[in-house]
Amino acid sequence: MGQTLTATNFQFPAQQQVYKGKVREVYYLENDLLVVIATDRLSAFDVVMPKGIPYKGQILNQIAHRMMQATADLVPNWMQAVPDPNVTVGVRCEPIKVEMVIRGYLAGHAAREYKAGKRTLCGVAMPDGMRENDAFPEPIITPATKADQGAHDEDISREGILQRGLVSATDYALLEKYTRALFQRGTELAAEKGLLLVDTKYEFGRSPDGTIMLIDEIHTPDSSRYFYAEGYEERQQQGEPQKQLSKEFVRQWLISKGFQGLEGQQLPEMSDAYINTVSERYIELYENILGEPFIKADISDIQARIEQNVIRYLDSL
């Protein structure tokens, strides 16, 4: 099945500390530099699966890299270089504790809330008479509080954000402006590939000089939901599920095995054969989102490859 990257333990020059998230590992260096490593770990329902998915980290890192490049004229971002297929180096920013979620269609969490009878989400009205996966008249922004490690993010309204002092009114207006501009660009990029960008999230932080920057990853299948444009209208008219391009297929597989991350539920066994199918689906996601063949990196010794590439880059600074 090949080697996967499920954990790292590097000691880079001028390293200060390490943060290990569900999927990425962040190395803090002197001079406000971050080395962010996208592992092959797979998270669903806030639970990390026990086995890695070959090439997943490379896929997410490279999609995010391309999408950051494609939106750099709209919003300043943290990215400086991609010295390795699994690694991005950039500016250390202080994260803003608000996740900017934007939805073009009634899908996922919004659809579940709608089915439960709610007609407002995060203080934003949703029209009556919508079917699941219908397009909103215009995209809606439904923020979430950025939870600390291990906790679930929570829906919050613009008013709640301002009342809690998470950001100032001026800065929140800028976050909304950036979010709409990014989603519009993401929608255009998706349309060029025959896709619909359904919903996504953006995270922002403050750089050392106080600039609000786009951080984290954008427009990847882990942070976004896509539908295939072809057949969308027909499926809606016939009340059929949409053909999705996201990691929703993993969640659905887990649900079919009786697992949704709830207390007392047993995590199902992922066979090597199933893991290979997940890897193949992620490659399909990459090729559809970027419209080009995926080139597999050498995974014979991922750790050594990453270490050499990162140190070579840091030495060049």
| Of 67-81, 140-154, 220-234, minimum mean pLDDT range | 140-154
Instruction: Indicate the number of domains in the chain.
Output: 2
Whether 113 and 202 map to the same domain: the answer is yes
Whether 99 and 235 map to the same domain: the answer is yes
Whether 102 and 223 map to the same domain: the answer is yes
Res. 1: pLDDT tops 60: no
Res. 148: pLDDT tops 70: no
Domain that holds residue 310: 15-92+274-316
**Range list of H helices, 82-168:** 108-115, 158-163
Whether 233 is in a domain gets the answer yes
% of the chain residues with pLDDT over 90: 83
pTM of the model: 0.91
Whether 122 and 166 map to the same domain: the answer is yes
Last residue of a domain, one of 245, 264, 285: 245
Pseudo-torsion of CA 296, 298, 299, 305, nearest 10°? -130
Whether 254 is in a domain gets the answer no
Which is more confident, 149 or 277?
Answer: 277
Q: How far apart are CA 25 and CA 63, in angstroms?
A: 17
Give the three-state DSSP class for 136. strand
State the CATH number of the domain containing residue 49: 3.30.200.20
| Of 47-56, 130-139, 186-195, 293-302, minimum mean pLDDT range | 47-56
Which is more confident, 132 or 150?
Answer: 132
Structure confidence at residue 249 as a pLDDT band (50, 70, 90): confident
Whether 298 and 283 map to the same domain: the answer is yes
Residue with tokens 């689906």: 281
Mean pLDDT over 228-252 rounds to 91
